A and B are shown apart, each in its own frame.
Chain A
Amino acid sequence: MIREFTSPDVVYLMLAARWTIGLALVATVGGGLLGLLIALARILPIPPLNWLAIGYINLIQGTPLLGQLFVFFFGLPLLGFSVGAWTAVALSLSLYASAFFGEIWRGALQSVPKRQWEAGAALGMTYRHRFTHVVLPQAVRIAVAPTVGFLVQLVKNTSLTALIGFVELTRASQIITAATFAPLQVYLTAAAIYFVICFTLSQLSRVLERRLHGTG
């Protein structure tokens, strides 16, 4: 019954890592778009919008991702909505990422000194122009490192989707471990794959930062 941990298992783990990357991508795109709106809602000078955004961020950041996944996958069907695993995952990962992206980008935007806004105003630029041409380029540069830092977290957090049936890297490791009873080899392999993904991300971030500084 118990079999050896062999090279086809390593391939299986690598294939499972496609899910890890795919899920992180979905969360990045969905969360990024939504996060942009959240960041805007946080800084536009419209108080009710600010409160709404703050409430949303507190709600999402204050509840565990696991709970959000559960609510979307198992909770909505109880209310009569039929939700597929992909929909549930895309929704909950995007909402989760959007709250964090929103806060990261809000911080980056607000860390651009107020003088820059004032200087733009002194030149007769409109709010929109000051935002897109003066503040945003500087904020993007500031935001790169924390954004990638969160992405690395996100990659690792995709392992929670195993609970609603996704066989991504962590879940695949559990499955192989159960068949081989060789957790050390299996999890070391999985750790190496995670490292490759996350290290690539942080290297990309470094390149991006350097490039943005160069042209800045």
Chain B
Amino acid sequence: MYNNKGRRTMFDLKTKLAGALFAAAAMIAGPAAADLQEILAAGKVRIGVPVDVPPFGFVGKSNEPVGLDVDVANMIGKALGVEVELQQITGANRIPYLVTDRLDMVISAMGATPERAQLVAFSSPYSALAIGVFGPDSIAVGAPGDLGDQTIAVARGTTQDLELTAAAPDAKITRFDDDATAAAAFLSGQADLLATANVVARDLMQKNDGVELNAKFILRYAPTHVGVQQGNPEILRWLDTFVFYHMLTGELSDLTEKWLGQPLPENFPSL
């Protein structure tokens, strides 16, 4: 069902296209970004959220977007006193949406990396997730170096994919479109291990009787950031203030506890 080679090519193609576009963006002065005063004057902020990354953004019972990122988006709208225009985005198009001024902010469980920061600016982190490799107790793996013949299912292009590929370049990694298909591959026995977020592994265990998804090793504790267009220090500064303030009130920690099951740690880093 999953022709890995074909899918890789498709992915490479998307990456190359995106790369070419960004190169073009660097040469041509991009469209002027809406600054903070314009957002306030317009009474509307355009925020991109995922709908395929539970528990950050997914669809609820009546198929409306819900999740941690959606809650943060609404909190931002409330704090700015403006209406929130939610736009569903995917992992592949979230940065192009920002670069071409179709969105003011992207809240999409996005980890800050130096590469991404060349194109978009990141706020201080509003939450965090632990990503790792999970599987049954019968598989004796305690570190990336222990990986041998086991097939590991992972959602392509995610932070866990990048980290696992870097930590265990020789491991048998099979990449899928999203967490759900990767999980299906694990549950159906097509993969021996699953690389995902701790909260997803925990939910899968609760939902499927007899499935063992215990942490083999944690790859990284990954803070998540709001992405904004570059060249807009006022919006970035406002977001940092927003995060700082709601860290102090404990609201962001409560949100993380609501969706991810654990509050944020005491010494949570900032950017």
**Closest A residue to B177 using CB positions:** A174
- Tell me which residues across on chain A come within 8 A of B10, comparing CB atoms: 66
From B55, B92, B199, give the contact of A163 (CB < 8 A): B92
Q: B61 and A3: CB pair below 8 A?
A: yes
Q: Is B170 an interface residue (CB 8 A)?
A: no
What 1/0 flags go to A159-201 for Cβ under 8 Å of B? Answer: 0001111010000001111111111100000000000000000
Q: A165-B87, A175-B51 are in contact. Are A80 and B63 (CB under 8 A)?
A: no
CA distance in complex: A2, B61 (Å): 10
Residues of B within 8 A of A75 (CB): 21, 24
Contact B59 A179 (CB under 8 A): yes
Residue B43 CB within 8 A of the other chain: no
Q: At the interface, yes or no: A117 with Cβ under 8 Å from chain B? A: no
In contact, A163 and B90 (Cβ under 8 angstroms): yes
Main secondary structure of the interface of A (DSSP, over half): helix
Does the CB pair A80–B179 fall under 8 Å?
no
Enumerate chain A interface residues (CB-CB to B < 8 A): 1-3, 8-9, 12, 64, 66-67, 70, 73-75, 77-80, 82, 162-165, 167, 174-184
Residues of B whose CB lies within 8 Å of any CB of A are 10, 13-14, 17-18, 21, 24-25, 28, 30-31, 51-55, 58-63, 87-90, 92-93, 96, 99-102, 177-181, 183-184, 199, 203-204, 207, 259
19 contacts between A and B (CB under 8 A): A1-B55, A1-B259, A70-B17, A70-B21, A74-B100, A75-B21, A77-B31, A78-B28, A78-B30, A82-B31, A163-B92, A165-B88, A174-B178, A175-B51, A175-B88, A176-B63, A177-B178, A177-B181, A182-B180
| Interface SS of B by simple majority | mixed
Inter-chain contacts of B199 with A (CB < 8 A): 1
Contact pick for A164, options B30, B53, B93, CB 8 Å: B93
- CB distance A79 to B54 under 8 Å? no
Q: How far is the CA of A36 from the CA of B99 in the complex (A)?
A: 37
A2-B203, A12-B63 known; 11 new pairs, CB 8 Å cut-off, are A2-B54, A64-B13, A66-B13, A67-B13, A74-B21, A74-B100, A77-B31, A78-B21, A162-B90, A179-B54, A181-B183
Question: Would B90 and A178 count as touching, CB distance under 8 A?
Answer: no
Task: Report chain B residues within 8 Å CB of A82.
Answer: 31
CA distance A167 to B199 in the complex (A): 27
Contact for B17 among A1, A66, A178, CB less than 8 A: A66
